Structure 1
Amino acid sequence: MNNQKGFTLIEMLIVLTVISTLLILLIPNLADKNNTMQTKGCNALVQLTESQIQAYEIDNGSTPIDIQTLIEGEYLQTDQCANGQQKITLTNGTIEIVAVE
């Protein structure tokens, strides 16, 4: 007598259908959330830069001329946002988010 325990083909197809349906519903939602998180991360970098500009002014008595000055002075590690598609610039005391060229 051969009585093996296991899944039948129909049970496996049902499980795969349920998993596929969940993935179809989940993946577009994750892509939207990723863009939102990247935007929030870039805005956080802008706020950090504003704080580091103030620290630079306290330490040096003058305003930095650009972001590279802050990086060289080790006030910032990078000017690039986490997604690598945007960076921050400092022009006339204004911090802006621009696309990487």
Structure 2
Amino acid sequence: MSSERGINVKHLFKNERGFTLIEMMIVLLVISVLLFIAIPNVTKQSGSINAKGCEAFVNMVEGQVEAYKMDGNTGQVTIQNLVTEGYLKDEYKACPDGRAITIGQNGDVKVSDS
């Protein structure tokens, strides 16, 4: 069993050694330690990500309230008015973290604490 160059393929694989059980266990231990370090850091950041996402959402809704007013719409601005008139999509009635938003009499957008 030889190739075109005259190298014996059986001879190539005969001298290779595999990993020992101890080496494999050490690799698994290192991977496990890295996962135990990384997972808590990722979960800590999810709260910060949700807060920033909600803040960006409020800024976007404030812009849509201003656009609604500039288009000559008068009266109380509500989320439903913005959806009905096409300023917001129906699925964007709340922050990404699920907290509801309200629009005050003067057009201020606020996030509920619950």
Please, what TM-score do these two structures have when normalized by structure 2?
Answer: 0.74
1:27 partner letter: I
- Name the count of aligned residue pairs: 98
SS across alignment from 1:62: coil
Does residue 73 of structure 2 align to residue 97 of structure 1? no
Q: Unpaired segments of 5 or more residues in structure 1?
A: none
After superposition, what is the alpha-carbon deviation per residue over 1:34-53, rounded to whole angstroms, capped at 9, x for unaligned?
A: 11011000000100011000
Cα distance in 2 for residues equivalent to 1:88 and 1:16:
47
Kindly indicate whether the alpha-carbon contact (under 8 Å) linking 1:52 and 1:76 is maintained by their aligned counterparts in 2.
Answer: yes
User: Could you tell me whether the CA contact under 8 Å between 2:94 and 2:100 is conserved in 1?
Assistant: yes
Look at both structures and tell me which one has the larger radius of gyration over its CA atoms. Answer: 2
Structure (1 or 2) with the greater strand fraction = 1
Unaligned runs of 5+ in 2: 1-13
Moved over 4 A (4+): none
Structure 1 letter corresponding to 2:36 = I
- Shifted more, 48-57 versus 7-16: the winner is 7-16
Q: CA deviation at 1:61?
A: 3.3
Deviation at 1:64, TM superposition (A): 4.4
* Structure 1 residue 99: Cα displacement: 5.6
Helix, strand or coil for the counterpart of 1:60? coil
Mapped to 2, the partners of 1:74 and 1:7 lie a distance apart of 63
2:22 and 2:76 map into 1 onto residues whose CA distance is 68
- Identity over aligned pairs, percent: 39
Partner of 2:69: 57
* Residue 86 in structure 1 maps to residue 99 in structure 2: yes
Partner of 1:35: 47
| Structure 1 counterpart of 2:38, from 18, 26, 35 | 26
